[in-house]
Chain A
Amino acid sequence: MTIIDTILNDFFWRALVGGLGVALIAGPLGCFVVWRRMAYFGDTLAHSALLGIALSFLISVPLNLGVIITSVTLAMALMLFSHNKTLATDTLLGILAHSALAIGLVALSFMPEVRVDLTGLLFGDLLAMNRNDLLWIYGGAIVILALLAVLWRGLLMSTIHEELARVEGVPVARLRLLLMLMFALVIAVAMKMVGVLLITALLIIPAATARRLASTPEQMAALAVVFGFTAVAGGLGMSWHLDTPAGPSVVVTAFVTFLVVYGVVGRFSAQGSR
């Protein structure tokens, strides 16, 4: 216990433990974002998190809860709106993403008594992670990983071919809803780490990097976790030594890993075919 206590008393180690926890769930969920082309959707949910924070101050509920409720509400609204074919989905998402962000900013400005670190919310404040945040992250990670393990085959099948999955009795609509709930949860816990503007990067970049090396869906999810870990550890190291902001440093490390993997593997496969 004393070792754990010592570790958790240090802000750097807290940041690392928290960051690794987020990478653990962002890996497999990020794969679904990539496979189902939901990048813009994830962005919209993430941007709405700021509105969620404003609302939680207004009705005084815990921030994480406020963010989850707002994300889920928005996700449901999107599901209903997507049947309306007058606007293309990306247009609709663009409207909602930026409106939610703007409304959140405006709402926060109406509450001068609330002192929030806006830069921290937008770009993350990994080094300010406290024990309560760690509880949220690892609580969320257990729920999400358990759900993914149980629902994996159905989720995969409905991603591959939705209609075929439905014919084979997979509850596609219910799974889509659960996936959105998981996104909302991961956004709520990851917001503190990289901020609402960079969350999608943490979902997409490790998964896209993993795609280059994986030959099964499970391998891709596992590799995405590994690349997520690399990004968090590398980003924190960079932040420590170069005194750069932690959240953006994590994303930069993820991007560099992506470039390296694609560069190296590209060269190898070019030699192999010669």
Chain B
Amino acid sequence: MSEELVAIENLTVRFDERPVVDRVNLSLHRGDIITIIGPNGAGKTTLIKAILGIQAATSGRIKRARNLVIGYVPQHLSLESTLPLSVKRFMLLSGRSLADCESSLARTGVSHLLNASVHHLSGGEQQRLLLARALARKPDLLVLDEPAQGVDINGQAALYDLIRQLRDELNCGVIMISHDLHLVMAATDKVICLNQHVCCSGHPADVSHDPAFIETFGRPVAESLAVYHHHHNHSHDLHGNVIDRDHASLGSGTGDCHEGCQHDHH
């Protein structure tokens, strides 16, 4: 088993006596990609803030590997427009060399923005900049809070793909929060479904069958995910064939799927 980066034992965080994170256990190893999913107010952000060390635990323990370097990609960069700041300056504020900063920007595909103002970036560019800044620190652990927010649908898939590649290159651990269930499911080793407590966890394909998951997200979502995985496993058979989407869904539709999830359902 590879090196353990973070071990969480029985972590509870309460706000005003209300448990927001309730007795969570979690172990994260080098090379893992763990995705936290869950409804709004499930304590996802609180949990990763505890992992980052910026949210105090009410009880329980978090053990981090010695000299653990964490790269944090926050949800967004809400910068005051009164603060003039270029991408280059923002990168250099990490304290790393210009060469390091430039190569991380190149790795996330935004090196052309080096001299642009941080205020004029699109949602996708901003996410890639934040990711580059985390990379410049050469992290052992990458923590991402909804990395694909404000990114268009094609960009989302590319972004999750990039995160997976970065895991391989840096040999780091990755833990992220996501709402893009169907995209995340394909790019993740382990899913944790959080609703204050861990209601279920495991491999994506298993989790989508778990009664607790179905109860939290509803049957349509769970089924769409399960079907999506079926589709994913067989995507090589279809590769190269352009299939009419309507035709395909007519051909293998099971009929009980919710109308809204037909795009997952070939």
Contacts and interface: CB of A to CB of B under 8 A. Distances in A.
Contacts of B82: 34-35, 208, 211
Interface in B41-80: 49, 52-54, 70, 72, 74, 77, 79-80
Interface stretch (B84-92, B100-108, B158-166, B238-246): B84-92
A176 interface: no
Nearest to B52: A167
Interface residues of A, number: 23
B54 A166 contact: yes
A31 B35 CA distance: 40
B74 A168 contact: no
A160 B83 contact: yes
B137 interface: yes
A63 B136 CA distance: 50
- Contact-size category for B: 20 to 34
Contacts of B49: 163
Nearest to B81: A211
B72 A167 contact: yes
A219 interface: yes
A155 to B, nearest CB: 11
Given A153-B93, A166-B54, A160 B79 contact: yes
B171 interface: no
Contact of A163 (B54, B84, B86): B54
- Which applies to chain B's interface (DSSP): helix, strand, loop or mixed? loop
A160 B85 contact: yes
B94 interface: yes
B137 A168 contact: yes
Given A35-B82, A164-B72, A219-B84, A156 B93 contact: yes
B70 A215 contact: no
A163 B72 contact: yes
A217 B137 contact: no
Interface string A32-45: 00111100000000
A274 interface: no
Contacts of A161: 74, 77, 79
Contacts of A35: 80, 82-83
Interface string A150-165: 0001001101110110
Contacts of A166: 52-54
Contacts of B77: 160-161
Contacts of B53: 166-167
Interface of B: 49, 52-54, 70, 72, 74, 77, 79-80, 82-86, 89-90, 93-95, 117, 133, 137, 143
14 contacts: A37-B80, A153-B93, A153-B95, A160-B77, A163-B52, A163-B54, A166-B53, A167-B143, A168-B94, A214-B84, A215-B117, A216-B86, A216-B89, A219-B84
